[in-house]
Chain A
Amino acid sequence: MKASSFGYARPESLAEALELLARHGERAKLLAGGQSLIPSLNLRLSSPALLIDLGNLSELEGIALQGKDLRIGALTRHRAIERSPVVAAHAPLLAQAAPHIAHVAIRNRGTFGGSLAMSDPAAEWPACCLALGASIVVASARGERRVQAERFFKALYATDLAPDEILVAAEIPAAAADSRSVFLELARRRGDYAIVGVAAQARRSKGRLQDVRLAFLGVAAVPLLARRAMAALEGGPCDAAAIAAAERALGDELEPMADLYHSAATKLHLARVLAGRALAALAA
């Protein structure tokens, strides 16, 4: 199907984009990689009066280590993250997750910021940001602010972004030397959105886990930190008993939504299986 007609603007700076957005409000839509927005226009699920194309805002693109944080610009493509040696060194979880996003042709276009703004419950980047304790940087004509990932993803496809705000970057604490990470997901076919997935990171020293972070995708309207399972592991050895306790704890905190193919019980089972595998990998 084809999209209905709309206006189009291609600002040359963030300031100009913010001004356009402030002027046109909810009648306008930001266009980043277009890999979620254009399908929804094609299917006529969305019909904005104006598209504001962020494509020329090179100031929003790039990966840089700034002090103790890795800053990833909103317009950075999935594929650039997948291939970045800086990401592999300082946020390996992202490098592990990237190949699970769609297919190469889509990863060449889709952006980090677009995925966070879209906030699909089964998307990889939101869960990774949650696991990594990222801070999301957003700008508007009123100025810039930072929101912790834990408060950014609010409800199904809804974030903390106000209608006049643009997501400009995420700042991710660089991984410690003793940090390990694992990203696992189950999908029906390669490249599909996940049925269930887990983004896990922890520091491991002398056989014990610290700062354990387990974030799940596909189990709720938003990505979820499994706090009870995290608590069951914190400070202890990651042995079979601890892993079993963490898997049990998931039953108390995850209330997965059934989808077309999987019941809530199936999803909980799959989340436990993935958690077990992820923790075994962290411990190995």
Chain B
Amino acid sequence: MEEFFETTITVNGTPVTRRVAARTHLVDFLREELGLTGSHTACEHGVCGACTLRVDGQILRGCLMLAVQANGRKVDTIEGLSDAGEIRDLQAAFHERNALQCGFCTPGVLMTAQELLRDRPEATRDEIREFMSGNLCRCTGYQAIIDSIEAVLIARRRTGRL
């Protein structure tokens, strides 16, 4: 018999309470229960980064956290970052430089890139590559992704957003 646990999570600023099975992953809860399908799932064992979420201000793998573990925590998804305008410049840079093709990896890539921009404003190009290494992209070959992030990093530094 499946057991359910009452779980309250603040998702993109709004608290939601649901009864969830212990085995439900956070990313599946967001996608299936709340309809937030911006975060994707592919490998489901931590390798690809398509499921990247931000919990209490830090990125993590949405497929490697149970929804019950997020009880009492703040979860931000790509929908939240996008609606808040937090990554508008990053999205524009990706668009301009063709840093996405099928777009499957893009939400996870943007979540990771935003953490890099906040966390490592002084990052060099090599450090950007290293930081982004946990997000796989099967289409772009990465150059355009790294170019876009580097451009935003430089622009944010110049405008004092960092």
Contacts and interface: CB of A to CB of B under 8 A. Distances in A.
Interface residues of A, number: 32
Nearest to B3: A7
Contact of B60 (A3, A6, A108): A108
A51 interface: yes
A191 B134 contact: yes
A254 to B, nearest CB: 29
Contact of B21 (A5, A55, A108, A191): A5
A64 interface: no
A5 B2 contact: yes
Interface string A95-135: 00001001111101100000000000000000000000000
A159 interface: no
A237 interface: no
Q: Which of B21, B25, B45, B64 has the most CB of A within 10 A?
A: B64
Contacts of B135: 103
A8 B3 contact: yes
A105 to B, nearest CB: 5
Interface residues of B, number: 31
Interface stretch (A32-40, A148-156, A241-249): A32-40
Interface stretch (B65-73, B74-82, B89-97, B146-154): B65-73
A107 B100 CA distance: 26
B134 A103 contact: yes
B49 interface: yes
Nearest to B64: A38
B40 interface: no
Interface string B36-70: 00000000111001001000001111011110110
What 5 pairs between A and B have smallest CB-CB spacing? A103-B134, A8-B22, A39-B45, A190-B133, A108-B58
Interface of A: 1-8, 10, 31, 34-35, 38-39, 41-43, 51, 53, 55, 79, 99, 102-106, 108-109, 189-191
30 contacts: A2-B23, A2-B25, A2-B28, A6-B22, A7-B3, A10-B68, A31-B66, A34-B64, A34-B66, A35-B46, A35-B64, A39-B46, A41-B23, A42-B44, A51-B22, A53-B68, A55-B69, A79-B58, A102-B46, A103-B134, A103-B135, A105-B52, A105-B59, A105-B61, A105-B134, A106-B61, A106-B64, A106-B134, A189-B133, A191-B134
